[in-house]
Chain A
């Protein structure tokens, strides 16, 4: 398989501080790859090394199979869409797009043709003569992408380009970006701290924390089979309980939280043994809610966990409804209500029974300092 971009054990130190710590990955031609991580984890630093604005302390970066470490930024065929776009305010739309072509020394007629062509492709054929200040947020976004795409880059780097937009426009641009990527067929490396952006758009996602990649995989894989506690906590919403392992067998383990809740959970990390401190993650949507206290108490044997409690809060957001349940042991559990059905109209104070399968609960060794929510 051909790779447009490869990083091999790339490391970047600022003095004693390690911003990027031995990151390796490969991006196959024409795919949409995202790096997802919290603020300050080193995403921008990694991107700036690829673009050539920083030099890696160790490791190698290859574009189309060739090392680019010796090339200055203006000789690398990777283009960067900046976080605040960095459109040139003293040029109009057409001049912004033509800038890169003029740097290549292309003939005037050819520049005009390509500029018109790329504007057509991003859906703004009439914007040629407009000033940058006259564009809306979403239009600026598309011009910034057009300005890079007109140069036919090997890889397009995008550094949280949707961060400055309002929610509605961001939702729209997510789809737009994905469409643009498949239309151009260019390799995209997209950086974000918003997990929904990464999951929606990407072919593959790398979850980054503290300068390292925690896990690389397809969005579904990350969501359903997280490999580390950080990924489980960072990708999607989860209930998280710290606890201690009571006993384990090859299929699963029993974990007791501080407040005395007992879980049966899937073992995700082979190294966990009896007595270890662990975190248990359960997604709200894998918890089934039924009205009433039923048998009461709690049950954590066989294949399912069962709890009873009372609803403390109902969070309605249109597509689904989330309830906050306080259990008899005093823990709070978040669960999603199914759309419609008998449980749809549950309200504050109603007694409910929550059940979830053993496989819905993931158990990870607690790493010192992991700040999953």
Chain B
């Protein structure tokens, strides 16, 4: 065996677990789901292949309305997450001292210690009719009777932003960390105002981090289940809820698989559009946010 063979074999052995993981956990299930979504039931236990499930989706406005609604709320959440996360990331990366920096990063990670479910229940304890916020408002006399703060879109959005903001802060802070402070100073020295420096220097520099963070946040939000269901209640009209219902409640696996594929396609399309509009490409984003 030549050295080159050895090297190739080594590479293969190193990559094998990763490739297996991709194949077994991602490619195969999706192929299975895709196949399932093309199956049409003509009689009990008799199936043919066809696009009926997809046509059903298009024919029923409530389905695609839910999908559009999920996508637009996810975009809103992504934008809000950026607005909330950017100042925090900027503070961590550029303003805080060395020790404060570590503490802040840790503080950002703490919510991850607690499971999604517990966090959502935490929100419920705060916001329900008999919850902490409602009681405090009544006690201070700001409101007369109990107020229900759960089960509306605003609460869902706030809950989602809270859940995913960390995934915006981390890539942003690490991109900003790599930015030489003298670039910002040069921006001021050459006559830029605080706003100009932000818009023309800091944000363009942080673009790969912004894109990476936005993609993660958008995908996580669009695919999230617990937060919208628990905070939004039965009427939250979240697309993952439809998928769950098809699979579990109606036992209609074909339709559930179709919805799953549609969600994947639709979110991918949105991300692609976002990349096109911001003039970034996935490859440069990954390469630059790693560098």
Contact = CB atoms under 8 A, between A and B. Distances in A.
Contacts of A72: 188
Interface in A160-200: none
Interface in A89-130: 89-91, 99-100, 103-104
Interface stretch (A73-81, A234-242, A309-317): A73-81
Contacts of B186: 80, 82, 86, 88
Contacts of A103: 190-193, 196
Given A84-B180, A88-B201, A90-B204, A74 B185 contact: no
B84 to A, nearest CB: 24
Interface in A297-349: none
A99 to B, nearest CB: 6
B200 interface: yes
26 contacts: A51-B185, A72-B188, A73-B189, A74-B189, A74-B190, A74-B191, A74-B192, A80-B185, A80-B186, A80-B189, A82-B182, A82-B185, A84-B180, A84-B182, A86-B182, A88-B201, A88-B205, A89-B205, A90-B204, A90-B205, A91-B204, A99-B187, A99-B200, A100-B190, A103-B196, A151-B191
B192 A99 contact: yes
Contacts of A91: 204
Interface residues of A, number: 22
Interface string B189-230: 111110010001100110100000000000000000000000
A268 to B, nearest CB: 41
A73 B188 contact: yes
Interface string A48-89: 000101000000000000000000111000011011101011
A79 B189 contact: yes
Contacts of B185: 51, 53, 73, 80, 82, 86
Contacts of A80: 185-186, 189
Contacts of B204: 90-91
Contacts of B187: 88, 99
B188 A88 contact: no
A350 B111 CA distance: 79
- Residue among B180, B185, B204, B207 facing the most chain A CB atoms (10 A cut-off): B185
6 A-B pairs with least C-beta separation = A100-B190, A103-B191, A86-B186, A86-B182, A90-B204, A73-B188
B192 A88 contact: no
A47 to B, nearest CB: 11
Nearest to A72: B188
A289 interface: no
B15 interface: no
- Residue among B189, B191, B204 facing the most chain A CB atoms (10 A cut-off): B189
